[in-house]
Structure 1
């Protein structure tokens, strides 16, 4: 097979000699631009930044993802303002039909897959391809495989992974392209290893091709299924169960997708230094897995950092920094007024919690001490404004209830707002318009987290538990505010007390009583987040540490 892409899909640059090895990056979601809704949250934000920095550094990399007919979902409100997921068809005139159509077997039936191309010049990415089953020749059941990102039906979700994995690998064959490296961003596309085993004939040949990025210690991110359930769906690309067990080392009936990826790759990586330690400990029991290193996640600074804030940073101009920050707060507060009917003040310290709503991220943590939270919210001498935003998984009733609870709580306060529509555009606006970026995960359960990086690029100080990427960045009181790690027996209680103490006794007095010191701290944070947490460093590190 050819090592070069067909001319119609070629990279628009000559490859940097450091990055000439050919690689394809498989991801279930990519957050490239607000106009292209093929993502749900952090995994997609990370993948989108990877595609942009790979382009900027002239890497020999392409991306393969899925074209979701309804995206993830549009976050709307019911008549009583409780959250309502809306599924609406998305249309993208800027994606080009490759004309490539092929069949894969799903549940012992042939399913057509079509492929669309995102030209690198559209959003400044490497060449990218998006697969869909919503195409002529398929029955309704087959079309709906690519309707909703992370479908709640377990069988449909597995089928989605098969389209990305088996379909993605077969698409490369249809393209006549044979890359050196198959990079699995999470284990969603692990079915590709079975397709490649059928093609290459040897486990060692498959391992030589594959690398694997694990993103989470969370159970939901390391999926397991009954092996017979998967076999009935044709997940193993025609491979007999005995052969599947032999090459994966899985002897019982529980197929662990991440474990299979670790055993059929030559290199794996976690996504922060701490997550690397957690991952090696987590998989310490498993035999015959590949080495797990770490490549700390990062974000595409050129896409995220406000240009005027960046100019002020480069000059070290604190007054220009403050002036631009207040202007950006004013822009965010127009969105607050539009959605919540509340008029926020750019001169007031504004704290934002915004990311995917999930139990371990504890979005409502600071509100759980109702008496103290109320006192802080009503303090006229040291005023504060709070904004929450983020999308729960549409079937996660607990997370949706938390979202709704925060919304109804906000009725009590003119200085508290809960926003809907947390996608790329709102995310950028919230980072530009916040003074403090609040992060409250249970320690060791946030593999990396990346929202705080782009907040710091936009002159917002991180206020966080000691988890994920902040362990490699934060120096309390110098570039951020970090609470001590709580004991296990009263984890939530200690975190609440420590965070509220820090808010009342350190953060608020610094902002109002020593504003020059506040902006010096902001400037330090901006300077120190810049290079290492820019995805240019990350994508170079993948070539150096993972694609070797």
Structure 2
């Protein structure tokens, strides 16, 4: 097979000799631009930034994803303003049909797969390819495989993983391209290992080509299925079940198939996504036999895409007045969105606190509101006023997270200085980071593998206010470049975190902002300077070549 991509899909640059090893990066989601809705949240934001930095560094890497017909979902409101998911067809005239169509076997039936190309010049990415089953020749059940990102039906979601894994690997063969490395960004595409085993014939040959990034210590994020259920869906790509068991290290009596464990056993290298997550992952999988080494490459974001140009210019000059003036302009822009969505007029002179990311239980979006009496006092403080904004998408079937979202919205009726926004996608995310003074992060410690939203907030002159988890452990120095609370005891975790965070807010953050403005902006400048290089995805993309694609 040809090593080089066909000329129609070639990289638009000469490959840097440091990054000449060819890599195909498989991801269930990519967030490269607001116009292309093939993502749900942080995993997609991370993957999109990786594709952009790989382009900027002239790396020999391509992206393989899925063209989701309905995206994740559109977050809208019902008549009483509670949240509801809306699904509608997305169409992209800027994607090019490759004309490559092929079949894979799903549930013992042939399914057609079509493929589309994203030209690197459109959004500054490496060459990217998106697969779909919504194509001629497929019945309705097969078409719907590529309809909804993370479909709620377990069988359909496994089929989606097969489309990415088996379909992605076979697409590369149909393209006439054989990369040196198959990089699985999460275990969604692990079915590719069985396709590769059938093709290459040896486990060592598969391991030589495979690397794996694990993104979560969450049980729900490390999927498991009954092995016979998977076999009935043709998950093992034609490899007999007993052979699949043997090469993946699952004994004859084991019925539970762990996707992450399979990826760890059939890769030559794996990585976690922060230093702390690396420690957690090695401990988490320490019991497992036959797994590869787990290093860490701390997640990062593409600075050129996220940092406001005027703020970045002021930062480079050390211009505190310039940062302050530009920040107020950006806050005013965000506040127009607030006014449009919820009919409230916010003041750019008031400290603005933002919580914005995927709504999930362990992220505790409502944490500071749980002490209602103290939260109310802070919200009504005339001497040190605050403005709070929340945004984020719950999983559309996560009733608990949706209820939390709605409860926050109903609570906001009590305060003219509290807003809960919908439509948290790339564009709103950027606007909220540019318009926030303080970026609030409240995960249960050790359950946030990395988190990246605070990085791009810091690039836009917003200070991080967080529990001690994920990437912040490698960045934060309390009171110097951010505000961090001590790790709470397990016996009273939420109570201690609430008390500690509200103490820091009332006793340190608010006085600093209102009484020592120059010190506030000195802290902001320090934060911007220190987040800029290490937490830029250029460093991350280079580190993958150095530590993972070896």
Query: Shorter chain as normaliser: what TM range?
Result: over 0.9
Aligned to 2:242: 242
Task: After TM superposition, give the deviation of residue 220 of structure 1 in Å.
Answer: 1.1
Structure 2: which 5+ residue stretches go unaligned? Answer: none
Structure 1: which 5+ residue stretches go unaligned? Answer: none
Aligned to 2:180: 180
After TM superposition, the structure 1 = structure 2 runs for residues 329-408 of structure 1, keeping only pairs within 5 Å, are 329-408=331-410
After TM superposition, the structure 1 = structure 2 runs for residues 219-230 of structure 1, keeping only pairs within 5 Å, are 219-230=219-230
Task: After TM superposition, give the deviation of residue 36 of structure 1 in Å.
Answer: 0.1
Task: After TM superposition, give the deviation of residue 532 of structure 1 in Å.
Answer: 0.1
Aligned to 1:494: 496
Aligned to 1:324: 326
Task: After TM superposition, give the deviation of residue 119 of structure 1 in Å.
Answer: 0.3
Residues 1:43 and 2:47 are matched in the alignment = no
For 2:404 and 2:510, how far apart are their aligned partners in 1? 26
Query: 1:453 pairs with 452, 455, 477, which one?
Result: 455
For 2:294 and 2:317, how far apart are their aligned partners in 1? 40
Aligned to 1:293: 295
Post-superposition Cα deviations, 1:295-351, rounded to whole Å, max 9, x if no partner, equal 000000000000000000000000010000000000000000000100000000000
Task: After TM superposition, give the deviation of residue 508 of structure 1 in Å.
Answer: 0.3
Aligned to 1:209: 209
Post-superposition Cα deviations, 1:51-108, rounded to whole Å, max 9, x if no partner, equal 0000000000000000000000000000010001000100000000000000000000
Post-superposition Cα deviations, 1:468-494, rounded to whole Å, max 9, x if no partner, equal 000000000000000000000000000
SS at match of 2:178: coil
SS at match of 2:300: coil
Query: 2:432 pairs with 405, 423, 430, which one?
Result: 430
Task: After TM superposition, give the deviation of residue 357 of structure 1 in Å.
Answer: 0.1
Aligned to 1:198: 198
SS at match of 2:395: coil
Aligned to 1:218: 218
Aligned to 1:523: 525
For 2:544 and 2:484, how far apart are their aligned partners in 1? 29
For 1:410 and 1:156, how far apart are their aligned partners in 2? 37
For 1:157 and 1:250, how far apart are their aligned partners in 2? 22
Residues 1:130 and 2:130 are matched in the alignment = yes
TM-score w.r.t. structure 2 length?
A: 1.00
Aligned length: 548
Post-superposition Cα deviations, 1:390-433, rounded to whole Å, max 9, x if no partner, equal 00000000000000000000000000000000000000000000
Aligned to 1:162: 162
Aligned to 2:28: 28
For 2:280 and 2:352, how far apart are their aligned partners in 1? 33
Aligned to 1:106: 106
Task: After TM superposition, give the deviation of residue 250 of structure 1 in Å.
Answer: 1.1
TM-score w.r.t. structure 1 length?
A: 1.00
Residues 1:87 and 2:83 are matched in the alignment = no
SS at match of 2:289: coil
For 2:421 and 2:141, how far apart are their aligned partners in 1? 35
Post-superposition Cα deviations, 1:157-189, rounded to whole Å, max 9, x if no partner, equal 000000000000000000000100000000000
SS at match of 1:179: coil
For 1:218 and 1:433, how far apart are their aligned partners in 2? 31
SS at match of 1:33: coil
Query: 2:266 pairs with 252, 264, 267, which one?
Result: 264
Aligned to 1:479: 481
SS at match of 2:131: strand
After TM superposition, the structure 1 = structure 2 runs for residues 456-467 of structure 1, keeping only pairs within 5 Å, are 456-467=458-469
For 1:179 and 1:221, how far apart are their aligned partners in 2? 27
SS at match of 1:421: coil
For 1:321 and 1:173, how far apart are their aligned partners in 2? 51
RMSD over aligned Cα atoms: 0.3
